[in-house]
């Protein structure tokens, strides 16, 4: 296992109960949103320049590790990246490869969704405007909170599970860190019970732990560690990396979860899922251990009116990966999750992250969280040929991914195998492919498995939730990405630029969302008490620097 702390040292760090009032301003998808650029020109399909006998060469704007460049990505006959360069013509096997021209598009590593519950495929509940303090409030009705619905776990329905995976594939995703799934589509890097779901990756799978404290019964403890069954380090790290749900909430009980596991379950093989209820001292503990965060902003915002203090994670050097959580309160796919993250960044986090940072959260850092860096998440020789091609009409380079919509995805390959593509490409290079109109664009979905067909998947999935959303048609009943609680009900304004409910004149972070939280004694968090809130403090633990 590669030591995550040494791997990230010196590198670019990017990541990876109240009622809402009526008339809450839209953040992502509304007229004032900067998360999604409008279409620039028309969609230009990829074309097959020549059909070869083995492997594929994709030509276009490449999002390479050192930065964007015009060139080629050559995926060889074994499904591995053999070359990333201005020209790969001198690489063995190049002459036998098919050539796909995607000029006018960007070539990205396949997107990695670092947090998803594929076994809960219920539609969102947009009628619910309750904001909770802790996940056990909505899970079990603890503390008298209204229980969240829908919640029942999905049975083993192949068509529904395949439909949920295809929804992600069609957004450019090639790997999931998920609690469920099927074989043959995206890779599931948390598939210790079903290693075939790795789809050719080598190494130990991640341990996706929903209840590291054994608190499925709904217990919340504000101090002490008398939880039902706290995971031991031996159990947590018996396999590969460890991805536990910790501190999902904004009360003292959420923060106490971290207090009780930080000495045993937080290491350089840990990627904490959610981490909403962490303060700057807790984040510093993660950094010193070489751990990281898996961030699910839409689900956090919809359930709690708040999310992880990601600007603190950034300043303290903790890598961040990105994940959708689940359909009921999260995003339908990673493009919508990127839209949420981007909107929060632009309107509430003071533009703390660049488009490259956000893209890294959804690619390289997802691989890091799962323990498969070097195999997925980057376009480098000998990595798996997991490729996603996005039309560049919404923006150049990283913006082409961060601001993409369904119609902008031209090609998705997993290990060189076409899963989804422009019709011409899929017909020539895919197997088991079927036509699908996506926002008026001709695509094909390749379901090369005896288990099901696209028609069966659509019949099962469409009554629950659409397979995709188009740029000019917002996602159906999409959960909120606008942070609000009773203490900050009105969004941003001239008197409250970051929308955290604290007027600018009294706000210790006027441009960065830093609301009061119960876990902070209902005050803005300022651990070093220097008058600069943690969310906007360049050194939140050092009073001499801000």
37: pLDDT strictly greater than 70? no
Q: Tens of pLDDT along 407-417?
A: 999 999 999 99
Contacts of 46 (CB under 8 A, 6+ apart): 58, 60, 100, 101, 102, 105, 389, 410, 411, 421, 422, 424, 425
Numbered ranges of CATH 2.30.40.10 in the chain? 47-108+376-461
Contacts of 416 (CB under 8 A, 6+ apart): 55, 56, 75, 76, 77, 78, 79, 80, 385
Per-residue pLDDT, 9: 34
Bond prior to 191 in cis (omega within 30° of 0) = no
Q: Tens of pLDDT along 80-113?
A: 999 999 999 999 999 999 999 999 999 999 999 9
Numbered ranges of CATH 3.20.20.140 in the chain? 4-35+112-370
Which residue matches tokens 């159990």? 235
Q: What is the dihedral of CA 407, 393, 344, 258, to 10 degrees?
A: 60
- Give the whole-angstrom CA distance, residue 421 versus residue 121: 25
- Give the whole-angstrom CA distance, residue 229 versus residue 208: 16
- Give the whole-angstrom CA distance, residue 323 versus residue 243: 12
Q: Tens of pLDDT along 184-223?
A: 899 999 967 678 889 999 999 999 999 999 999 999 999 9
Q: Tens of pLDDT along 418-465?
A: 999 999 999 999 999 999 999 999 999 998 777 889 999 999 999 999
Spatial CA neighbour of 72 closest among 94, 53, 57: 57
Please state whether beta strands 441-446 and 417-422 pair in parallel, antiparallel, or not at all (unpaired).
antiparallel
Six-digit token string for 485: 């609680």
What DSSP string runs through 122-161? PPP-TT--EE-SBHHHHHH-GGGPPPPSS-PPP---HHHH
Region 28-34 average pLDDT? 33
Contacts of 501 (CB under 8 A, 6+ apart): 485, 487, 488, 489, 515, 516
Mapped onto helix, strand or coil, the DSSP state of residue 109 is strand
Q: What is 47-108+376-461's CATH topology? A: Urease, subunit C; domain 1 (2.30.40)
- Give the whole-angstrom CA distance, residue 102 versus residue 422: 11
Per-residue pLDDT, 154: 67
Least confident of 9-18, 55-64, 155-164, 170-179: 9-18
Per-residue pLDDT, 182: 84
Please state whether beta strands 242-246 and 271-274 pair in parallel, antiparallel, or not at all (unpaired).
parallel
Q: Tens of pLDDT along 286-316?
A: 999 999 999 999 999 999 999 999 999 999 9
CATH number at 4-35+112-370: 3.20.20.140
pTM for the full model?
0.92
Six-digit token string for 466: 């659409």
277: pLDDT strictly greater than 50? yes
Least confident of 72-76, 180-184, 370-374: 180-184
34: pLDDT strictly greater than 80? no
Spatial CA neighbour of 291 closest among 364, 245, 241, 257: 241
């Amino acid at each position: 296992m590669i030591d995550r702390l040494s791997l990230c040292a010196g590198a670019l760090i990017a990541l990876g109960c109240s009622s809402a009032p009526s008339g809450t301003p839209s953040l992502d998808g509304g007229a004032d949103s900067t998360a999604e650029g409008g279409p620039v020109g028309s969609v230009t399909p990829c074309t097959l320049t020549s059909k070869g006998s083995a492997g594929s060469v994709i030509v276009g704007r490449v999002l390479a590790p050192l930065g964007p460049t015009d060139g080629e990505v050559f995926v060889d006959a074994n499904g591995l990246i053999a070359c990333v360069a201005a020209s790969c013509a001198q690489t063995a096997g190049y002459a036998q490869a098919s050539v796909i021209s995607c000029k006018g598009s960007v070539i990205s590593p396949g997107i990695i969704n670092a947090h998803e519950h594929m076994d809960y495929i219920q539609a969102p509940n947009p009628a619910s405007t309750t904001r909770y303090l802790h996940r056990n409030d909505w899970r079990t009705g603890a503390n008298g909170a209204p229980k969240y619905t829908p919640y029942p776990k999905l049975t083993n329905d192949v068509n529904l599970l395949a439909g949920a995976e295809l929804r992600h594939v069609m957004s450019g995703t090639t790997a999931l860190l998920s609690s469920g799934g099927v074989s043959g589509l995206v890779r599931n890097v948390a598939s210790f019970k079903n290693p075939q779901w790795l789809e050719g990756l080598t190494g130990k799978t991640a341990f996706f732990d929903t209840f590291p404290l054994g608190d499925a019964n709904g217990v919340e403890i504000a101090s002490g560690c008398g939880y039902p069954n706290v995971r031991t380090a031996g159990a947590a790290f018996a396999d590969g990396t460890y991805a536990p749900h910790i501190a999902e909430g904004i009360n003292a009980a959420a923060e106490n979860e971290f207090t009780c596991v930080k000495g045993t379950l937080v290491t350089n093989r840990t990627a904490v899922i959610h981490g909403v209820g962490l303060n700057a001292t807790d984040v510093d503990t993660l950094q010193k251990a070489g751990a990281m965060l898996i961030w699910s902003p839409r689900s956090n915002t919809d359930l709690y009116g708040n999310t992880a203090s990601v600007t603190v994670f950034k300043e303290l050097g903790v890598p961040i990966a990105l994940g959708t959580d689940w359909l009921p309160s999260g995003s339908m796919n990673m493009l919508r999750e990127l839209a949420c993250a981007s909107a929060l960044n632009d309107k509430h986090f003071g533009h703390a992250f660049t488009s490259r940072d956000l893209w890294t959260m959804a690619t390289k850092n997802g691989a890091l969280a799962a323990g498969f860096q070097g195999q997925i998440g980057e376009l480098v020789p000998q990595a798996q040929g997991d490729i996603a091609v996005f039309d560049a009409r919404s923006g150049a380079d990283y913006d082409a991914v961060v601001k993409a919509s369904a119609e902008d995805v031209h090609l998705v390959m997993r290990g060189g195998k076409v899963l989804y593509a422009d019709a011409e490409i899929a017909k020539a290079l895919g197997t088991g492919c079927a036509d699908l109109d996506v926002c008026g664009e001709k695509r094909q979905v390749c379901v090369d498995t005896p288990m099901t067909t696209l028609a069966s998947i659509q019949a099962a999935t469409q009554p629950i939730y659409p397979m995709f959303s188009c740029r000019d048609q917002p996602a159906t009943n999409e959960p909120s990405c606008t942070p609000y609680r009773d203490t900050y009900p009105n969004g941003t304004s001239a008197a409250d630029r970051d929308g955290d409910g604290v007027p600018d004149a009294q706000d210790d972070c006027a441009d960065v969302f830093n609301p009061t939280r119960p876990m902070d004694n209902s005050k803005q968090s300022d651990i070093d008490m220097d008058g600069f809130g943690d969310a906007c403090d360049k050194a939140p633990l050092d009073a001499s620097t801000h």
